[in-house]
Structure 1
Amino acid sequence: MTTIVLLHGIGGASWAPVLPALAPARVLDWPLPGFAGTPMPAETSFAGWAGLLRDRLDAEGIPRIDLIGHSIGGMLALDFALRFPERVRGLVLYATTPAFGGRDPAFAEAFLAERLAPLEAGQDMAALAESSIRPMLRPGTPAPLVHLAVDAMAAAPEAAYRAAVRCLTTFNRRDDLGRLAAPTLLVAGETDPLAPPKTMERMRDAIRNARLAVLPGCGHLAHLEDPAGFNAAVRGFLQALREG
């Protein structure tokens, strides 16, 4: 049975509501290096992360995976599938983009300044999580799932968060989308301002064997805002892979 690898977003892992939909497959919830008690790498880069993930798969004797990535984890999933296509059977790119938004270096500098400003002003990760996560979730998101997301980001080491934010600004795989070999599902939240459906539609059109599921009323954390809808989309895709 193919192993499913989960790659979390910059706020840390909050996959608990998704796990029942993945059963009975083996699941590897792989933290970005520096998160969840893992050591910080000497250099934080997509190439470095992809190599470390490949090393983990090799160490556990996992030849091929289904890969689900959220936000910056979706960028890593895309990068990994392009670097090591023989290792990926199926790909789920969720609330992500094929490149960092701005080509002008000034855009990246402004983005970094905005994202890191609360930390520079003395906030800790717990305060940043409270101010960042709650506005992303649509009204009515169950309180335990709100707490799950807030607690995940609060637990992220500041150094790992800072390094991941900087790494994010280096990403650009837009011109490589046509090389993706694995069947691909894209999942977008209807109201997500960070990875809007229009952007993900363009991704879908550039990737062979790709389809897009848009979850109504959801933003950037659809797996928490609408677990049933997210799980149905992913479960259907994985079932098609098994039957194909």
Structure 2
Amino acid sequence: MGDPRLAFDAAYDAALARWPVPVRSEEVATRFGTTHVLVSGAAAAPPLVLLPGGGATALAWSRAIRLPAAVRRVHVLDPVGDAGRSPATTPLTSTDDVTDWLEEVLDGLGLGAVDLAGHSYGGWQALTFALDRPARVRRLALVDPTTTFSGFSPGYLLHAVPVLTRPSAARMRSLVRWETGGRPVDDAWLDVAAAGADVPAAAPVRTRRPDPARLGALTVPTLVVVAGDGRAQDARQVARRAAQVMPRATVVTLPGATHHTLPAGAEQALTEFLR
């Protein structure tokens, strides 16, 4: 058996070679570890920061980057301690750590207030940051965020627990195949996510649903994108709850989208929201 890290790096490089717009890498030092960032778009454009789902890496945004990069300077993060190229020296252990880490990344990139978007667990991270540092967020987009407006569905947990407790490439591929129901996904990205499951990573911060009162008080313009055919959570419940607790938010349900086909497919809604 080969070195899992070498296999992951090879898959990451292969997927990055297929990034559909010009891209360069940056490294940002934080007290939690160095954060790897993929940067695309015109240098003079307003900044957009993208966060991937847990275990997904920055490359999850590959098929959703073209339209946003046409109107924004896009910074896509490999979250520190997760799968990707941002190993943690001090693991994130609390929501305060999430906020502090992301603020240090923005400071290291020389960014003030930014547009911020996240998918899945990255959506929860983005919302956590916006609630704690609203002055740093111009617009907020949550793409099928988890543990935010609803819990995971029992069926998804049944399939995801093996990945969480004994992660492996085969289990990650099986979860994605089941959740997407055979819909096409980016094969290069799936190779990265599968290879990443074989590489040890820090435990994610335990997520809790935000206080509804804080959500209702948030004045940052917000878009919530819901996977209409997703199996990770109940789409109708997520959309209904988001509209209830964030009445200022724009809630869009994408028919045919699933949790793991996203963020690809959300780029048009995201770009229109940013204009």
Q: Fold conserved (TM > 0.5)?
A: yes
1:32 corresponds to which residue? 79
1:217 corresponds to which residue? 256
Task: Give the 3-state SS of the residue equivalent to 2:266 in structure 1.
Answer: helix
TM value normalised by structure 2? 0.71
* Structure 1 residue 115, shift from structure 2 partner: 4.3
Q: Distance in 2 between matches of 1:61 and 1:44?
A: 25
* Structure 1 residue 45, shift from structure 2 partner: 2.5
* Structure 1 residue 69, shift from structure 2 partner: 0.7
* Structure 1 residue 118, shift from structure 2 partner: 5.2
1:205 corresponds to which residue? 244
* Structure 1 residue 222, shift from structure 2 partner: 3.9
The answer (yes or no) to whether the contact 1:77–1:91 under 8 Å persists in 2 is yes
The answer (yes or no) to whether the contact 2:130–2:136 under 8 Å persists in 1 is yes
TM value normalised by structure 1? 0.79
- Residue range with higher mean Cα deviation, 192-201 or 10-19: 192-201
The superposition leaves residues 52-108 of structure 1 with CA deviations (integer Å, 9 ceiling, x where unpaired) of 110111122100111111111110111000000000000111111426739xxxx9x
Q: Distance in 2 between matches of 1:190 and 1:89?
A: 27
Task: Give the 3-state SS of the residue equivalent to 1:92 in structure 2.
Answer: strand
2:48 corresponds to which residue? 4
Matches within 5 A, 1:77-226: 77-97=126-146, 98=148, 101=151, 115-117=160-162, 124-141=167-184, 145-156=186-197, 158-160=199-201, 163-164=203-204, 167-168=205-206, 170-175=207-212, 176-195=214-233, 196-223=235-262
The answer (yes or no) to whether the contact 2:150–2:237 under 8 Å persists in 1 is no
Q: Distance in 2 between matches of 1:88 and 1:157?
A: 34
The answer (yes or no) to whether the contact 1:138–1:217 under 8 Å persists in 2 is no
- Residue range with higher mean Cα deviation, 126-135 or 80-89: 126-135
The answer (yes or no) to whether the contact 2:179–2:231 under 8 Å persists in 1 is no
Unaligned runs of 5+ in 1: 240-244
In structure 2, do the counterparts of structure 1 residues 233 and 152 end up closer, same or farther at CA, with 3 Å as the change threshold?
Answer: same
* Structure 1 residue 178, shift from structure 2 partner: 0.8
The answer (yes or no) to whether the contact 1:68–1:74 under 8 Å persists in 2 is yes
> How many residue pairs end up in the alignment?
220
Q: Distance in 2 between matches of 1:11 and 1:91?
A: 22
The answer (yes or no) to whether the contact 1:223–1:231 under 8 Å persists in 2 is no
Task: Give the 3-state SS of the residue equivalent to 1:81 in structure 2.
Answer: helix
- Residue range with higher mean Cα deviation, 191-200 or 56-65: 191-200
- 1:67 correspondence with 2:116: yes
Q: Distance in 2 between matches of 1:190 and 1:28?
A: 27
Task: Give the 3-state SS of the residue equivalent to 2:63 in structure 1.
Answer: coil
More strand by share: 2
1:230 corresponds to which residue? 266
Q: Distance in 2 between matches of 1:159 and 1:80?
A: 26
* Structure 1 residue 174, shift from structure 2 partner: 3.7
Aligned residues with identical type, % of pairs: 30
Q: Distance in 2 between matches of 1:99 and 1:200?
A: 8
In structure 2, do the counterparts of structure 1 residues 87 and 9 end up closer, same or farther at CA, with 3 Å as the change threshold?
Answer: same
